[in-house]
Amino acid sequence: MSVPIDLVVNGGDVHAEVEPRVTLLDFVRDELGLTGTHAGCEQGACGACSVLVDGAVVRSCLMLAASASGSEIVTIEAVGTPGRLHPVQEALWRHHGLQCGFCTPGVVMTAIDLLAHVPAPTEEEVREALSGNLCRCTGYSGMVDAIVAAGRAASTGPPTP
Amino acid sequence: MKPPAFEYVGATSVAEAVAVLASEEDAKVLAGGQSLLPLLALRLARPSRLVDIGRLRLDEIELGPDDSPAAGAYAGGAGGPTLRLGALTRQRRLETDAAVGRAAPLLREAARYVGHPATRNRGTLGGSLAHADPAAELPAVAVALDALVVATGPDGSRQLTCAELVEGYFTTTLEPAEILTEIRVPAAGPRHGAAWSEWAPRAGDFAEVGVGVALELDAHGVCHWVGAAACSVASVPLVLGPALAEAGVVGAESAAPALLRAVAQSVKEAASAAGDDKAELAALLAARSVADAFERAQRDRARLDQAEPAA
């Protein structure tokens, strides 16, 4: 059985036929080649696969591609460019908020969602928001500093993807 | 791992979803998927067909008059307003919606403890109740607030209390072809205070124990109603309202140390079947929630007195 889906990914229309059991994570990685979204635990524990669905951060391993039909998806590929980083990416870079980088795409998406709701979050709010993103390099301090700083900087211009 | 193979129906109406569930024994409902997808990935669930109800418009929140015959136990009493929440209301919205904050502050506070922002953006209120995880916050809140749920099946809709809904570990009294469509929470009255306290090893983990308390004061500042429940101490939410009332919360004007000791003692006894560690933790968290709820109710009273000075 396959299911027809229509969705918008990073601003482009996508029409596809998917097997029902294919998650949004596997769809963007394997069908669309958008491998910036990382497959970590594949059971909703690590947050590495976080993407934006209709503007809200979601774990793409916990959503079927079939359920995403009709939605607008933003993956890390559409956030910033190498020459012009997104403010969250810039802040992570400046504050040493990444080491191996595996969890980073999910962290960036989580931070974008947080800053959309809480423009200038406190350290406590950042830690709470990041509680669902596991970093095996134990690099949380830099991440927290970065997102707090990105929030402060955003008072002069809101970060949007 | 990857989910096993299944057939998929993107339901366009409740009736269609119910019909599919009625015709196929191993068909299951997919709402927000934040519990079902991990179960599929771990291959602990192997449904033949998933009925995706995620596109149904079951996410309206409205504060309306009470027409539910079973209501009335709550502070507002029979005829008080009811907060109606569509079963597909996202957990994240419980945190941010102003009507929820006013009419069910316990629901708003507890929602912040459910998983993480990314799971709350997909996870639904109805899904959490229908999943009936004994460690979940929202079923305990629903029980504490005497909430009602509407179940829709092949023979129409019926209303039941949340206590009647949740039967045991991951087990509800919903019929196989029934879908939970609405949650009705008696709205908070004046001088209402509520608090959720829980302990988990890390933020977002399942609670070791969580305790929610809501209470209301009369015009003289005396508590006349308390509702409470705990998650993660029994196979179903542990009802604590009557025990707290008996321990002296009803009739009290503030959370004096003697009252909190009595609260802790009664909760420890009520939770004793869960073992000493959990019972002690539940007692501590209950005392903390009672103290916070009193403080918030008193603040609400002061606010009302300021707005409408006694003649």
B134-173 pLDDT tens trace: 999 999 999 999 999 999 999 999 999 999 999 999 999 9
Is the confidence at residue B68, as pLDDT, over 70? Answer: no
- Which residues in chain A (64-93) have CB-CB distances under 8 A to chain B? 64, 66-67, 69-70
d(CA B194, CA A138): 36
d(CA A36, CA A32): 11
Between chains, do A56 and B121 touch, taking CB under 8 Å as contact? yes
Q: Which of the four pLDDT bands, split at 50, 70 and 90, describes residue B274?
A: confident
What is the reported pLDDT for A154?
78
Å between A147 CA and nearest CA of chain B: 16
Higher pLDDT residue, B144 or A160? B144
Is-contact A81 A89, C-beta < 8 A? no
Is-contact A66 B52, C-beta < 8 A? yes
pLDDT tens string A24-80: 999 999 999 999 999 999 999 999 999 999 999 999 999 999 999 999 999 999 999
What is the reported pLDDT for B74?
47
Is the confidence at residue B295, as pLDDT, over 80? Answer: yes
Between chains, do A20 and B8 touch, taking CB under 8 Å as contact? yes
What single-letter DSSP state applies at residue B13?
S
The rounded mean pLDDT for chain A is 94
Best of A19, A37, A51, A62 to mutate (most B CBs within 10 Å, chain B): A62
Q: Which of the four pLDDT bands, split at 50, 70 and 90, describes residue B79?
A: low
Å between A101 CA and nearest CA of chain B: 20
Short-list B209, B228, B236, B270, CA closest to B144: B228
Short-list A53, A65, A62, CA closest to A2: A65
Single-letter residue type at A35? T
Is the confidence at residue B18, as pLDDT, over 50? Answer: yes
What is the reported pLDDT for B202?
85
Q: For A42, which of B30, B41, B121 is closest by C-beta distance?
A: B41
In the numeric block, which tokens belong to residue A40? Answer: 């970590």
Number of Cβ within a 10 Å radius of residue A1: 12
Q: For A66, which of B1, B10, B119 is closest by C-beta distance?
A: B10
Residues 6+ apart with CB under 8 A from B161: B70, B146, B147, B148, B149
What is the reported pLDDT for B308?
75
For residue B121, the chain A residues in CB contact (below 8 A) are 53, 56-58, 113
Helix (H, G, I), strand (E, B) or coil at B310: coil
Q: Is A115 on the interface with B (CB under 8 A)?
A: no
- Write down the residue that tokens 């809904």 correspond to: B165
Is the confidence at residue B15, as pLDDT, over 60? Answer: yes
Q: Which of the four pLDDT bands, split at 50, 70 and 90, describes residue B73?
A: very low
What is the reported pLDDT for B310?
57
The rounded mean pLDDT for chain B is 93
- Write down the residue that tokens 């918008």 correspond to: A8
Q: Is A23 on the interface with B (CB under 8 A)?
A: yes
Which contiguous run of DSSP H or E holds residue B191?
none
Between chains, do B52 and A42 touch, taking CB under 8 Å as contact? no
Q: Is A150 on the interface with B (CB under 8 A)?
A: no
d(CA A111, CA A78): 15
For residue B11, the chain A residues in CB contact (below 8 A) are none
d(CA B206, CA A44): 13
Is-contact B223 B295, C-beta < 8 A? no
What is the dihedral angle through the alpha carbons of B70, B75, B78, B79, rounded to the nearest 10 degrees? -120
Å between B221 CA and nearest CA of chain A: 34
Is-contact B130 B161, C-beta < 8 A? no
Is the confidence at residue B32, as pLDDT, over 80? Answer: yes
Instruction: Return left, alpha or beta for B259; rule: phi > 0 is left, psi -120 to 50 is alpha, else beta.
Output: alpha
What is the reported pLDDT for B1?
83
pTM higher than 0.90 for the full model? yes
Between chains, do A21 and B2 touch, taking CB under 8 Å as contact? yes
Number of Cβ within a 10 Å radius of residue A82: 6
Q: Is A63 on the interface with B (CB under 8 A)?
A: yes
- Write down the residue that tokens 């109406």 correspond to: B13
What is the reported pLDDT for A155?
65
Is the confidence at residue A160, as pLDDT, over 60? Answer: no
A-B Cβ pairs (cutoff 8 Å, strict): 100
Best of B9, B34, B39, B121 to mutate (most A CBs within 10 Å, chain A): B121
Is-contact B154 B19, C-beta < 8 A? yes
What is the reported pLDDT for B144?
97
Is-contact A149 A115, C-beta < 8 A? no
Å between B128 CA and nearest CA of chain A: 15
